[in-house]
Amino acid sequence: MPSLLTISAVVLTLQTAVVLATGALWLFLLQFPLANLCMRVMFSRTARGPNPIVAKLAAEVVALWQPAIHQPGLHRFFQGATWLWAGIFLLLTASLAVLMVTEPTKMFLMLSTVATAALVVAGTGVSTLWFLSVLRRLGLTLRFAPA
């Protein structure tokens, strides 16, 4: 199953369950930190293994080819990047949980959007620069699958 589809299914399932289970606004808003917590768990579970989710996402989302010869340095990058994203999702979980209990609903929605966008942009930038650094150090070139 493609990783992006798995991520979407987890988030949508959680959102649907919360919406159907309650009419209380605070429980509905709880879906935001809970979804990030689920993402954190999903990323953490794959980080140490042979198939880190960031490697799968790179292949599925941007059609990044893996070298035919196993590159331990590249594998370590994907494991580390998966841990980085697990950390980002944990930070988002904690931030949104705090915002949810300290801010009015409108402010929570605005701040949660800003926090999510800021952390995703920062994580993407760090991941990209780190990836390019690893490629340069390993002497690999960046190549995408043909369309």
Query: Residue 144: inside a domain, yes or no?
Result: no
Query: Residue 143: inside a domain, yes or no?
Result: no
Model confidence at 97: pLDDT above 80: yes
Q: What is the mean pLDDT of the chain?
A: 87
Residue 18, pLDDT score: 73
- Full DSSP string of 64-123: BPPPSS--HHHHHHHHHHHHHHHHHHHHHHHHHHHHHHHS-HHHHHHHHHHHHHHHHHHH
The model carries a pTM of: 0.80
Query: Residue 145: inside a domain, yes or no?
Result: no
Q: What is the pLDDT of residues 122-132, one digit of tens each?
A: 999 999 999 99
- Across the range 54-63, mean pLDDT stands at 82
Query: Residue 146: inside a domain, yes or no?
Result: no
* Euclidean distance between CA atoms 92 and 86, whole angstroms: 10
Domain residues for 115?
A: 3-138
Query: Residue 88: inside a domain, yes or no?
Result: yes
Task: Answer whether 42's CB lies under 8 Å from 7's CB.
Answer: yes
